[in-house]
Structure 1
Amino acid sequence: MVSALNEDRLFPTDPEQRSIARRLYEAIKDRPIISPHGHVPIDWFAEDKHFKNPTDLFITPDHYVTRIMHGHGVPFSELGVGQKHFTDEQSRNAFRLLGKYWYAYAGTPMRYWLEDSLANVFGINKPLNEDTADSIYDELNELLASDDFTTRKLVKRFNIGFISTTDARADSTFTSRLAPCFRPDRYLEVDRVDWVQLSDKLGESAGVDTSSYEGFVEAMRRRRLFFKQHGAVAVDHGVDPSHEGNWSGDTTRLSDDEAIRLYDKARRNSLTPDEARRLHAHLLNDQAKLAQDDGLVMTMHPGVMRNHYRKHLVMYGPDCGGDCPMPADWSHWLRPVLNEYGENPDFHLVAFTMDETAYSRELAPMAAYYPSLYIGAPWWFLDAPESILRYYEDVVPYAGFAKLSGFIDDTRALCSIPARHDMNRRLTARYVSGLVADHRLSYEEGEQIAIRSVAGQPSEVFKL
């Protein structure tokens, strides 16, 4: 049985609105992908490599995929997670497990992305299940060994115009514009046991003595400029360390004397938990202050408890899917920086959240008011079709399309990049088609909004 993807997937069921969505989608579906935040390894761009096998491509690096099977009792060790020596037979068995538990992905965005990748990248339309897993694995293996499916060939096929990784390096020889991203969280987590060593290393990289607060700020200023000179457009703040603490996005500023006093205590490893939180908030505020001069976009995505299962953190390391969203308090967190810098149109602060109740309650009203604030696209627990449509419904009536960040894919799985962007483009066409069908927008206005959401909006927000 062959099951090709339906061309109208994710479009409205109403025939008139579906026709409008089709036209809107046609206007945006082939435009270059702009990906300002992702996690694919930079080595996939720097060198033209072959993936070892389908499991290496689709399963092991993608915690979206592995966490579902783990929830049904499959050990991560059987999926290649954290395994230095994973044999060909083990890789094949992992793919068999994907087929066995394929039913568990019904209704999830992971199933959508995987089916899209299999069909549109590899031309495989047969249903994945326990009986077909081996044959699909063999087909994929043969294709991945060919010269047409190397890492660089795939990226070129995906029509990626710009992509930013979380790696510190950038490769200027590739056709896609590839940028690094500065992630200074570990230097702000002042109660880490290794924080003094980390701050010293920051100083060594910048050529500045960081034993004083003034030196630390100067080192940050220089490192931010270094990344900008190497193509970075943003500084990203996850604000959630892997140790015992769970920082909020608070940006309350201290007096200069208090900041110096607490910094000196941090150097002596003698901060109380409350002092550590207060100094962290101040140092996060410093990042916004530094952005006034270097122009780098400030992105924040706090509000998650990482590595919920401690045993797996030890066994497999971070980023294996054991994370849980937590409530956000954006109104209080951002008030200090927005009161200071919110009217500066050259300062761009993009707020991402895993707490979708914050969209209409806080982020949309604030973004409508402050020129510097933009609402980050749905991601990480919120990147399902239903959540993306709720996002539009929650934020557009308050803030309008022009205060949105544009889509980001936030993925470690290479082939899910085009699948995720295409899904978002279909949903954008679907949402905008409703405004056109309701005669709230002309078709021409709707088409311009759809085009801007794919091209103009992310380019402007991230200053590309």
Structure 2
Amino acid sequence: MTRPLILHEDRLFPADTATRAIARRLYAEVKGLPIISPHGHTDPAWFADNAPFSNATELLLAPDHYLYRMLYSQGVPLESLGVPSRAGRSSADPREAFRTFAAHWKLFRGTPSSLWLTHVFVEVFGLGVALSPETADLYFDTINEKLATAAFRPRALFERFNIEVLATTESPSDSLKHHMAIRESGWAGQVITAYRPDPVVDPEHEEFAPSLELFALLSGKDVTTWRGYLEAHRIRRAAFKEAGATSTDHGHPTARTADLTDAEAEALFQVIVSGNATPEQAELFRAQMLTEMAKMSLDDGLVMQIHPGSFRNHNAALHARFGRDKGADIPTSTEYVRALKPLLDRLGNERELRIILFTLDESAYARELAPLAGHYPVLKLGPAWWFHDSPEGMRRFREQTTETAGFYNTVGFNDDTRAFLSIPARHDVARRVDAGFLARLVAEHRLGEDEARELIVDLAYNLPRQAYRLDRSQSEKIARSA
């Protein structure tokens, strides 16, 4: 028996009728605003080539670790879901993989994935019946038929979603050829990159040695010397800025920073490139490189994002078969006050430097992060992220940070996703949750509704543009073309 698929117009709004009415009015202010997506992991090749997406499984299921980590927890092998192996191949039949997904759809009840995908099914593909084993083929065929049309090619969807700017993330050893192709194509869509140096900064990264070789090739520098290595970063950062980058992105295990002397840093670097570093030396090098990256950001204006606290590739067997980012990353407790002090002692009062902090440890919000961002000019708070990118996580973020950091030491919302079609759904959730949070403040006479109307526009649109210096990027682009 099939059930209707319903996307309720009041979803996520407060249950109290008076507060819900305020939330509706506030949401109406931002519902149609363009999407600013300044931190994400979609594939720039999609927009460079503008080729049709192949099928529902490869588009919706295989790239989305939120989906397959849940399925794997219930005993569903990743091989059966179309997730490519470390060799880049998948032996699963896409239709059978989608049927497997549909048979387990009930696992996602009450999760953000259910919210996002229901939005995609209704708003993007026009489906009107709920996903189930009985409707799996209907979904698969309907989605595939639409993906074969011009209206569902990547650039057309980008425009349909009203995306104003979308940032992808590349390593310093990436040639940026797809971003060059986008620019040369003449398409007006603004797809920019972000500088993610982890593979050449983390000595414990499995691709550290080969990434250093490419880093040397692309920069033209001897990256086995400390000075050459730092200069290579400056050269690649400049190339990323030319490709539209306004930010850097650092996914370290901890938030630890260091401020070594030049001699100490050079000696440490020689140990690192020798391949004989201890875990403590690797951690100290990562810590020093956060400070080095911050110094470079002060020079070149790139906004620095630090998002520590993930124990990556926790499932060693899964990592061996499928590689990184396959759903086995686990949050850890993370300390910030002492960890960031060396960097902040050096640069914390520099008003031209901007550092956005994220966390997977919600216990740090009220105790550490909000007080830090509520004091240091360089610091802003990134939104509820990854495991906390959920209605409850967003509400907890606002509840725990607003009293100390306010709203204007935060940076609005970013989606941080590989799942392209979920971007409008994720931003819609954030806008609805913020509408509900602000509505409660209005109902409690803690905020005027006129203030709330201005504030929700800032949260949805103005703050991310300002935080990621997208206005500055546009003005620099105009100046270069003049």
**TM-score in same-fold range (> 0.5):** yes
- Aligned equivalent of 1:458: 464
Opposite residue 335 of structure 1, the aligned amino acid is K
CA deviations over 1:152-194 (Å, ceiling 9, x no partner): 2111100000110013532223322111111111211235576
Structure 1 residues 301 and 193: alpha-carbon distance in aligned structure 2, compared to 1, 3 A threshold? closer
- Aligned equivalent of 2:305: 299
Q: Counterparts in 2 of 1:91-130, with a 5 A limit?
A: 91-130=94-133
219-228 or 7-16, which deviates more: 219-228
Aligned length: 456
Opposite residue 461 of structure 1, the aligned amino acid is A
286-295 or 160-169, which deviates more: 160-169
Q: Does structure 1 residue 283 correspond to structure 2 residue 289?
A: yes
Structure 1 residues 333 and 413: alpha-carbon distance in aligned structure 2, compared to 1, 3 A threshold? same
Q: What is the distance in 2 between the residues matched to 1:60 and 1:372? A: 38
Opposite residue 270 of structure 1, the aligned amino acid is N
Q: Does structure 1 residue 311 correspond to structure 2 residue 317?
A: yes
CA deviations over 1:352-372 (Å, ceiling 9, x no partner): 111111111111010000111
**Aligned-partner SS, 1:345:** coil
Aligned with residue 159 of structure 2, among 131, 156, 165: 156
Q: Counterparts in 2 of 1:351-430, with a 5 A limit?
A: 351-430=357-436
CA deviations over 1:126-167 (Å, ceiling 9, x no partner): 111122212222222222222221222111100000110013
Q: Superposition RMSD on alpha carbons, in Å?
A: 1.6
TM-score, length of structure 1 as denominator length: 0.95
- Aligned equivalent of 1:22: 24
Structure 1 residues 422 and 91: alpha-carbon distance in aligned structure 2, compared to 1, 3 A threshold? same
Deviation at 1:86, TM superposition (A): 4.9
Deviation at 1:273, TM superposition (A): 2.8
Quick check: 1:352–1:376 contact (8 Å CA) kept in 2?
A: yes
Q: What is the distance in 2 between the residues matched to 1:191 and 1:312? A: 18
Aligned with residue 214 of structure 2, among 201, 205, 208: 201
Q: What is the distance in 1 between the residues matched to 2:251 and 2:56? A: 30
**Aligned-partner SS, 1:333:** coil
Opposite residue 409 of structure 1, the aligned amino acid is D
Q: What is the distance in 1 between the residues matched to 2:162 and 2:211? A: 38
Q: Does structure 1 residue 136 correspond to structure 2 residue 136?
A: no
- Aligned equivalent of 1:31: 33
Deviation at 1:262, TM superposition (A): 1.5
**Aligned-partner SS, 1:293:** helix
Deviation at 1:384, TM superposition (A): 1.2
Q: What is the distance in 2 between the residues matched to 1:317 and 1:156? A: 33
Q: Does structure 1 residue 9 correspond to structure 2 residue 11?
A: yes
Q: What is the distance in 2 between the residues matched to 1:17 and 1:248? A: 40
Q: What is the distance in 1 between the residues matched to 2:76 and 2:281? A: 42
Q: Does structure 1 residue 166 correspond to structure 2 residue 169?
A: yes
Structure 1 residues 293 and 95: alpha-carbon distance in aligned structure 2, compared to 1, 3 A threshold? same
Deviation at 1:198, TM superposition (A): 3.6
Q: Does structure 1 residue 181 correspond to structure 2 residue 181?
A: no
Q: Does structure 1 residue 219 correspond to structure 2 residue 221?
A: no
Q: What is the distance in 1 between the residues matched to 2:126 and 2:103? A: 22
Q: What is the distance in 2 between the residues matched to 1:432 and 1:193? A: 45
Quick check: 1:45–1:174 contact (8 Å CA) kept in 2?
A: no
Structure 1 residues 250 and 442: alpha-carbon distance in aligned structure 2, compared to 1, 3 A threshold? same
CA deviations over 1:384-435 (Å, ceiling 9, x no partner): 1111111110111110110112111111111100000001010011111111
Structure 1 residues 105 and 197: alpha-carbon distance in aligned structure 2, compared to 1, 3 A threshold? closer
**Aligned-partner SS, 1:251:** coil
TM-score, length of structure 2 as denominator length: 0.91
Deviation at 1:56, TM superposition (A): 1.4
Q: What is the distance in 1 between the residues matched to 2:280 and 2:61? A: 41
Aligned with residue 146 of structure 1, among 126, 146, 149: 149
- Aligned equivalent of 2:477: none
Deviation at 1:260, TM superposition (A): 1.4
**Aligned-partner SS, 2:338:** helix
Q: What is the distance in 2 between the residues matched to 1:60 and 1:190? A: 29
